Amino acid sequence: MKILKSAVLWFTSIICGILTLTGLCSMPSSAGLLSFIIPAILLNPVIRKLAAKKKFYIKKSTTIAAVIAPLIITIVFACIFPAQTDKENTLTTKTSSAIKSATSSSETSSSSAPAQSSSQTTDTATESSAPASNAKLKVHYLDVGQGDSEFLELPNGQTMLIDAGVQERGAGIVSYIKGLGYNKIDYIICTHPHADHIGGMTEVVNSFAIGKIYMPRTSSSDTPTTKVYKNLLSAIKNKGLKINTAKSGVTVVDTGSLSIKMIAPNGTNYGDLNQYSAVLMLQYGNIKFLFMGDAGNVSENEITANVKADVIKVGHHGSKTSTGASFIKKVSPKYAIIEVGKGNSYGHPTAQCLKRLQSVGAKVYRTDEYGTIIFTSDGNVITVNKNASSIKENAP
Ligand SMILES: [Zn+2]
């Protein structure tokens, strides 16, 4: 009987201890802490027993007063400083958002959205389809000359890099992303293994902590034998990373309000590397971004997913065999971004492509005219910042 009583005492004591620790971790104010610590000590059966043995008997009325007083202090404190308590709570639980607010140096002046300091929540509403009102998505269409590279700051605090231009731009891309305050890239997408898309990726892989890498699987006859491709494969291997296959149906991110899904390639053998391009549809709240890589008409015609989007990164630098009339009509974008080098030898973007974009009323932004272009969205409104810095060759 005595053993049982002692066991019950210790069990109650441990439960009290756990409750105290939970209280310590969750209460932001000192008054809150008091309300947990004092009753926990006074009500702890082991402590009470020891006190009784040593004749320091604690009166019942003292105990009740000591339990009630901190609780009253807490309630009063919470009524007087409700906002402050909230803020402290946010700071303790959302520490990883700190890196985010320190980063962006290029906020658009036309932005009507609220200032982003103390804003970005790190866990974007996994339970709701509406985004948190102040979490921002930022898409940087990097000016890498003739080639593609898009860096995404996702509203859930993660990052994504789609392509990395030619090899000579690698160092510049690395310093651009580091300049935003990041040391890790959560998702790397190599849309297809052409030098103007994967050239700079080796430098990126060697310079950051990397989460996942996606690349399409090409047929054996289409698999490149180029040096840039081999260099990238060995950089990935040396880092102990594996390549995830990029293909239609792959979900890269899905947190409720934010989803990034691949809607191409749908085939496995094209005889043209461009058609293997990973095509991504990003949806954040009510806003959709489509990233085409170098996909052309062949791939466009195979896509069965809904392609309606607010913003499109135009396929294959605006070549005449991409952005088909029926396809772009289905997309009906408000904005179209063309990543292209000034005076390139390919004649990109072509007059035909520009005309098709014009026919659906898309506002066209070209990196050869505006430099790096940054789109920001809260899931409802899009703001555009042009004339951002370009990624120089062999930078920094
Ligand atoms: Zn290309």
pLDDT surpasses 50 at 99: no
Structure confidence by residue, pLDDT tens digits, 101-157: 323 333 333 333 333 333 332 333 333 344 555 699 999 999 999 999 999 999 999
d(CA 198, ligand 1 centre) in Å:
9
d(CA 294, ligand 1 centre) in Å:
5
d(CA 142, ligand 1 centre) in Å:
14
Residue 42, C-beta contacts closer than 8 angstroms, at least 6 positions apart: 48, 58, 63, 66, 67
d(CA 316, ligand 1 centre) in Å:
5
Structure confidence by residue, pLDDT tens digits, 349-372: 999 999 999 999 999 999 999 999
pLDDT surpasses 80 at 162: yes
d(CA 338, ligand 1 centre) in Å:
11
Break the chain into its structural domains and give their ranges: 2-93, 96-388
Q: Specify whether domain 96-388 bears CATH 3.60.15.10.
A: yes
Residue whose C-alpha is closest to residue 219's, from 187, 200, 192? 192
pLDDT surpasses 50 at 87: no
Arithmetic mean of pLDDT, 290-316: 98
d(CA 211, ligand 1 centre) in Å:
24
Contact 120, 138 (CB under 8 A): no
Contact 171, 395 (CB under 8 A): yes
d(CA 367, ligand 1 centre) in Å:
14
Protein residues placing their CB within 5 Å of the ion ligand 1: 196, 294
d(CA 210, ligand 1 centre) in Å:
23
Please report the pLDDT score of residue 395 as a whole number.
Answer: 53
Beta bridge partners of 244: 214
